[in-house]
Structure formats: structure tokens, C-alpha cells
Amino acid sequence: MSTPLKVSADPKSFYRYLLADSQDRDWGIYATSAGYVDIAPGAPYPPAGHPKNYRFCWEEGRRLDELQIHFITRGGGVFESNEEGGPSQRVAPGGAFVLFPQVWHRYAPQAETGWFEYWIGLKGDHVERLLQKKLFRPDHPVFTPADSSALLRLFTEVVACLRHHSVGTSRTLGSVALQILAELQTGAAPAAPAEKHTDHVIREAKLMLDQHLEQEVDLELMAKKLNVGYHWLRRAFKQETGQSLHQYRLQNRLNRAKLLLKSSDATVEQIALQTGFTDPYYFSSIFKQKTGSTPSGWRRGDPLPLT
């Protein structure tokens, strides 16, 4: 079993450091750590509480003996790597950067914005093969995907798996990380043309909703943070996505619930709470209404009734 070495206690962050076993190593790609941290504007960075080998300060930078992928969904910052202290590269919302084994690096959010950062650390023979084939290179560490929604879905999956830590978590996360690496390798693109205001607002609204599926979101406050009117946001979101804000949120909550039912041992009641449903009976009812199956039936793989 992949034993948790350290688990975060800060409510604005969630992460685990994992000790791999022989089966994890035999798998070829396994996670050493993963999680997220929400850094408020002006907050110190990096936050305290990480194991000694992972700590660093901006002045000295750091080297790791593993590969890490970092994904920024809110705010922005800078990234530098290589021993000469190469030029700073900007990391914008929706961007990602890769830390390479034994390559010096440092990174931090802008003080005026902070950032929301996901990450996953990886080791294994397959990781080494990817690096040997130069599919990922230290001279190209920053990625700007044309569409970051797939990355957000995959990192949300990573966190869901971490929360329900069980046998094989480290290698399960390794398999998800392969999909993340594939997204970076195939989805990275040159800087896109300037985004239309509406497209930008809708993308930011999706990110806000997706990051807080387990919590209630004040939609009027969200509109205020996006500097738009609430009624304008509702109308624009429906026009751009074909769904209302509520429908989009419900669909993503149910999608996460489906994933947890298949990939964890959590009870239906626990999954209801972790996907934002305070009433497990309502959760079961809406799940059956939308999927044609009860949560327990979905977990068992029962055939859907003929209609």
C-alpha cells in the first residue's frame, strides 16, 4: 500500500506525500506527492509545513530528485529554472510548468494576485523513458494549453483520489498523471490571440465553479469578483455553454460522484457530502434522475433499465 508520509492540515491547502511500495515501483510511474494550495494576495510563499527535502526559498531555489507538474488556475506568477538563473517566465491562469529531476528552479505567485496551484510529483522507469526520449525537456518547462479544461478535470481527479487514499493510490495517480502529461505534450500551443471579454469571463467562471464543487458558491458574489453583473453572467453563460450555471455545476458534481463511486471505497453518504450534496437522499434521487441508476447500482455496474 502507498503509505501517506505527510498530510496537510491547512484549510486552504490539501496534499499528501506518499511512500511508494514495490508494486508502485513495478508499475513504472507513481506519485510521490500531490495536492493543491490557495495562496491569497500578499501571503508568504512557499507556505510552511512541507517535508525538508521539498522546502525552498526564493533566494536559493531548489533541486528535486523527481519530476513535478504544477498547474495554475487563478492568479499568476513567475518561474525560473537552470543553474544560471535563466530569464523569468510568466505563468498565467490555465498555464502549467514542469520541474525536472536535478534541475535548479524557483517559482512564486505575484504578490498582488496570489495563485491557486495544483501539483503532482512523479517517479518511475516510465518517467525516465519520457525524459530520455526528450518528450519533455528542461529548456521548455512552461506550457500554455489552448484549452485548460481537461487539465482542470484531471487535477480534480487527482485530489479526489488523494482524499480517498487507499491501496494503490500512488500508482493510480501515476496513471492519471500520464493523461496530464499527454495533455501538456499535445495541447500546448503558442500564445493564443487575445481572448474576447465574454470568453474570458466564462472560462474564469467555470474555473471558480469547478474548484469548489463540494461547497456552496454565492453566484452573485462570484459575478462581482468577475467584475460583471449577475444577470449578465447568467445570460452569457447560458448562451456560451448551452447550460445554466446551476446545470453546469450539477453536471460536474455528478461527474465527480461517478468517479468517486468507481475509484474509492467511500460510502454513498460520504460521496454526497464531498460533491456538495448535504442530503444523501436528495443526492441519490437526483443521481438516479440524471443517470438512470442509483449510486450503489452505478458502483456495482448494474445494467441501466430499458426505456
C-alpha to C-alpha distance for 29 and 196, rounded to whole angstroms: 39
- Same domain for 177 and 219, yes or no, is no
Q: Which residue has the cell 498530510?
A: 7
Q: Exposure pattern of 229-240 as b/e (b: 16+ CB <10 Å)?
A: ebeebeebbeee
Top-confidence residue, 139 or 10: 139
- Same domain for 279 and 154, yes or no, is no
DSSP E strand boundaries for the chain = 3-7, 13-19, 30-39, 67-75, 77-81, 89-91, 96-99, 105-109, 115-123, 142-143
- Same domain for 139 and 223, yes or no, is no
User: Total structural domains in the chain?
Assistant: 2
| pLDDT tens-digit map of 6-41 | 554 454 788 999 988 898 899 999 999 999 999 988
- Same domain for 9 and 68, yes or no, is yes
CATH code of residue 227: 1.10.10.60
Residue 8: domain span: 3-187
**What pLDDT score was predicted for residue 190?**
40
**What pLDDT score was predicted for residue 28?**
93
Of 155-159, 164-168, 275-279, minimum mean pLDDT range: 164-168
| pLDDT tens-digit map of 96-129 | 999 999 999 999 999 888 999 999 999 999 999 9
Cell of 113: 494576485
Residues in the chain: 307
Report residue 217's pLDDT band, with 50, 70 and 90 as the boundaries. Answer: confident
C-alpha to C-alpha distance for 82 and 89, rounded to whole angstroms: 12
For residue 237, pLDDT over 60 is answered with yes
Whether the full predicted model's pTM is greater than 0.85, yes or no, is no
Contact 40, 122 (CB under 8 A): no
Q: Which residue has the cell 508494486?
A: 23
- Same domain for 110 and 172, yes or no, is yes
